[in-house]
Amino acid sequence: MATQLLQFNDKGIYCSAGDFYIDPWKPVEYAVITHAHSDHARWGSKFYLAHRLARGVLKYRLGEIQLETAEYDQPIFRNGVKISFHPAGHIIGSAQVRVEYKGEVWVVSGDYKTEDDGISTPFEPVRCHTFISECTFGMPVYKWPAQQQVHDDINQWWRRNAEDGKITFITGYSLGKAQRILQQLDQSIGRVFLHGVIANTNRALESDGVNLPAAAWLSPDVSIADARGGIIICPPSAIGTPWMRKFHPYSFGYCSGWMALRGAKRRMAADRGFVLSDHADWQGLISAIDATQCECVCLTHGYTASFARYLRERGYNAHEAHTYYGAEEETAELADNAAPAGPQSMPGEKGGML
């Protein structure tokens, strides 16, 4: 390429012309954020720019940061560099970042998925010269089943558990997967309860006008009898804890793209594994990259080496980059207290769970 509009350094993805970083992993002066997951949105930068629907969760997770927000396709200019957000379809408020300067266009995907989950703004490909992409599930073995079938399977499993007098636990990351699970539950089956960290996250999203189905915080006052026949949405940090075990008898299900691998359910000690991911599968990655009509592809995290080789065989100038992305949300949440401290604070106030 004629220019290197974006470069990788020890702090993140840097645009020297505009003097800003995208998803930096160290504190910087000005950070443009693709979404609020902990490996992409870190504390310590002076100024932040993100999509409007990420405002509440960013302040909930990072505190009272100096944050500017924008809508999709709304141009923001820094030193003549045009920045805009475009739907990534990953979670609520997620965005690809388009950067344009002197006719050169680069796009940073952040994390994304190409199927419409009905709750996140659907992914839209953006034409560019260089596409900086994730490839978390960049292997042919990863092919997602139809979403409706997964949703039906979850509800049928819950219904059987309720008929057997069991409590159902279903696990998903507190930001993204949990809201997606909640949206598709058939609440005629029984009551829906939320672990405290998920209840707090939902409040943060709702503060930005996101409409989510009603569900009850699983407070310490909720007895086993109250919860019997119901379903509890909890983060991975709750798995195997004394808090979870006190709700015996229960059945435990895990939602993840990793459930596509044989043996993954057994390793998680889950009764059921559901293949449900907030990332693009193999074909989704290929279709997204092809739709950009880019010349160069830079892969940030996932199966970067093998996927880069595949793309080069297809004629792309593809290479890997070393980043600090890809630490799954469960890694961050395992450090949290698994007990469901309730929705005690609004976004930006101290005392939140994350």
Q: In what order do the strands lie in the sheet with 81-87?
A: 76-78, 81-87, 95-101, 104-108, 130-135, 296-302, 317-320
pLDDT digits (tens, 9 = 90+) for 223-251: 999 999 999 999 999 998 999 999 999 99
Distance, in Å, from the CA atom of 167 to the CA atom of 161, rounded to the nearest integer, reads 7
Distance, in Å, from the CA atom of 333 to the CA atom of 320, rounded to the nearest integer, reads 28
Query: What's the confidence (pLDDT) of residue 327?
Result: 66
Distance, in Å, from the CA atom of 269 to the CA atom of 272, rounded to the nearest integer, reads 9
Amino acid letter for position 93: G
Query: What's the confidence (pLDDT) of residue 263?
Result: 86
Helices 177-184 + 147-163 axis angle, to 10: 70
Helices 177-184 + 196-206 axis angle, to 10: 90
Among 264, 180, 191, 185, CA closest to 224: 191
Q: Which domains does the chain have, with CATH numbers?
A: 7-141+279-323 (3.60.15.10), 147-274 (3.40.50.10890)
Query: What's the confidence (pLDDT) of residue 350?
Result: 25
First to last CA, the chain: 41
Please give the full DSSP string across 9-43, using - where no structure is assigned: -SSSEEETTTTEEES-SS--SEEE-S--STTTS-T
Helices 196-206 + 55-62 axis angle, to 10: 130
Q: Could you tell me the pTM of the whole model?
A: 0.92
Mean pLDDT for each consecutive 10-residue tract of the chain (354 residues)?
A: 82 98 98 98 98 98 97 98 98 98 98 97 98 97 97 98 97 96 98 97 98 95 94 94 92 95 84 96 98 98 97 98 77 39 35 25
pLDDT digits (tens, 9 = 90+) for 114-173: 999 999 999 999 999 999 999 999 999 999 999 999 999 999 999 999 999 999 999 999
Phi, psi of 223 (to 5 degrees): -85, 170
